[in-house]
Structure 1
Amino acid sequence: MVCGADLIYAQEAKAVSCQYCGQAGTSLICCPDGHYVCDSCHGAGSLAVLEKLAGRVRGAAPEQILEELLQLPALPMHGPEHHPMVALALLLAVAKAGRHIPDNAVAEALRRGMQVPGGACGYLGGCGAGISLGVAVSLLTGATPLKGKERALANRASALGLIAAGDGEARCCKRALRNAVREGRRFLGEELGIDLPAATGRAICRDVARNRECAMTRCSYFPPGEGPL
């Protein structure tokens, strides 16, 4: 975000200071030139716009809604801004299907999703897209750490999202989101009795050229007819 250099994903954290807000801390992810952007600053420009965008989506299927959310202006290829999107897509689809969602669901999905740090998929074994599926189920069931059935459902939903993220490829936030939303639609129907429409056809990725680790033809969303870059 500062100089465009390829980030270093290290095994040992180093002391850093955010280029924008000055917050000091440690990070496993940094720029070879010493630049660092904290998760809050990384997502600050996107979250307010994402909340507005969520208020005017037109699709009914969660997959369609996700594709609308992915049109967020200046959305980076990767980053924590993606982490609330699975929950948003599912919750908005539930509302469009005429089912109740909590009054604060959108704002709370944004808040909870952004608690998952960038790089969690590799460093914590907890992809933000998978956890976001658990966030959606938690909000729909009113789960807390003290509610056995609801807590179990939220954890099982996250587990499905994480299994979908464990596809043997390098990280891709877009692919992880699409896979988790697909699993989420099925989970809501089977476990919560909330049947949501499925999108017709499959999503086609528009970000191949800017994803240095693209799985290309091994990805279900790779544009048809295109070969390796």
Structure 2
Amino acid sequence: MNGHLNDCLICDGKLEYLDAAEEMECVICHKKHLNNVRCINRHYICDECHSKRGAKIILEVCRTTDSKNPIEIMQKLMAKPFIHMHGPEHHILTGAALLAAYHNSGGQLDLNKALNEIERRAKQVPGGACGFWGCCGAAISTGMFISIATGATPLSEREWSLSNLITSKVLRRISALGGPRCCKRNCFTAAKVAVEFTGEQLAVNMELPVDICCFFSPNNHECKGALCPYSPQHSNS
């Protein structure tokens, strides 16, 4: 498997999205799953195989970085091999980058334990959740970040409320940008919302760059170009 591919990790063929799930066999681990996505050459890779090597890189970087800037951490991760243009590894990446930046900004948590937990939880969110569930994995991962940072459970009061509130705020911001999906765009948007939110609600002030510029558009067949706020075609704040 090569890094940063837009479509099929085996042949780079276009992906096709089925209205109804079918049983498919992963070409890597050969396990069978019900799924809605395969390439036009009928290659199917399960979420576990798609994100396995990327997840290891994500946790290694987030355990050692001293950055207080989640966008900086995300961009460093996105440039690594096995963090593909799109894919469920971004569900881990979003929350992990936020946890690392939060910890480095004075947020009180056991970072190693928190990173292991975000990996466990985020792996339960399938690829394509943005379109099939109507709830982007980057938004869900941001809710997980707040849940872990505050120790929320289904029986919590304020912590429960904050976890759900930030997910809704991220989804609102992501949906306003319109489709089609872009994992890079959605991660950056989630981070911006999370930095604002943690400063207001948790009094932990993470950092953001003056401009957020995405350099991954050449690998994204569906890039919105100048319509994306992170396009190299214009600066943003």
TM-score range, shorter chain: over 0.9
Matched, 1:114 2:128: no
TM-score computed with the length of structure 1 as normaliser: 0.93
1:12 to 2:33 alignment: no
Matched letter for residue 10 of structure 2: V
Q: CA deviation at 1:69?
A: 2.2
| Alpha-carbon contact 2:77-2:83 (below 8 Å) kept | no
| Secondary structure of the corresponding residue to residue 72 of structure 2 | helix
Q: What is the CA-CA distance between 1:210 and the residue it aligns to?
A: 1.1
Residue 173 of structure 2 aligns to which amino acid in structure 1?
A: A
SS at structure 2 position matched to 1:223: coil
The answer as to whether partners of 1:102 and 1:140 remain within 8 angstroms in 2 is no
More displaced stretch, 116-125 vs 149-158: 149-158
**Which of the numbers 138, 151, 161 marks the counterpart of 1:129?**
138
Instruction: Could you tell me which runs of 5 or more consecutive residues in structure 2 were left unpaired when the two chains were aligned.
Output: 1-8
Judge which range, 210-219 or 18-27, deviates more: 18-27
Distance 1:20 1:83 in 2: 21
CA distance in 2, matches of 1:67, 1:33: 31
Shift of 1:190: 1.1
How much has 1:58 moved relative to structure 2?
4.1
Note if 1:37 corresponds to 2:63: no
The residue aligned with 1:164 is 173
Write the distance in 2 (CA, Å) between the matches of 1:13 and 1:94.
Answer: 38
What is the identity, as a one-letter code, of the residue corresponding to 1:217? A
1:83-105 CA-to-partner distances (Å, cap 9, x unmatched) read: 12221122111211223113501
| RMSD value, Cα | 1.6
The answer to whether the Cα contact below 8 Å between 1:188 and 1:195 also exists between their aligned partners in 2 is: yes
Instruction: Report what 1:176 is aligned to.
Output: 186
Q: How does 1:80-119 map to 2 (within 5 A)?
A: 80-103=88-111, 104-119=113-128
Tell me the amino acid that sits aligned with residue 132 of structure 2.
Y
Conservation of the 8 A alpha-carbon contact between 1:50 and 1:72 = no
Corresponding residue of 2:69 = 61
- Distance in structure 2 (CA, Å) of the matches to 1:56 and 1:141: 22
- Name segments (4+ residues, structure 1) moved above 6 Å: none
Match among 204, 229, 232 for residue 220 of structure 1? 229
- Write the distance in 2 (CA, Å) between the matches of 1:120 and 1:105: 23
For residue 203 of structure 2, the aligned residue among 193, 197, 202 is 193
The whole-number CA distance in structure 2 between the counterparts of 1:151 and 1:99 is 18
Q: Normalised by the size of structure 2, how large is the TM-score? A: 0.90
1:15-47 CA-to-partner distances (Å, cap 9, x unmatched) read 211111111121111122221110001111211
**CA spacing shift, 1:123–1:144, aligned 2, 3 Å:** same
Q: d(CA) in 1 for partners of 2:68 and 2:224? A: 29
Identity %: 34
Distance in 1 (alpha carbons) for counterparts of 2:223 and 2:162:
32
Q: Residue 109 of structure 1: SS of its match in structure 2?
A: helix
CA drift at 1:149: 2.0
Q: CA deviation at 1:72?
A: 2.2
User: Aligned equivalents of 2:77 and 2:12: distance in 1?
Assistant: 24
Instruction: Letter of the 1:160 partner, please give it.
Output: K
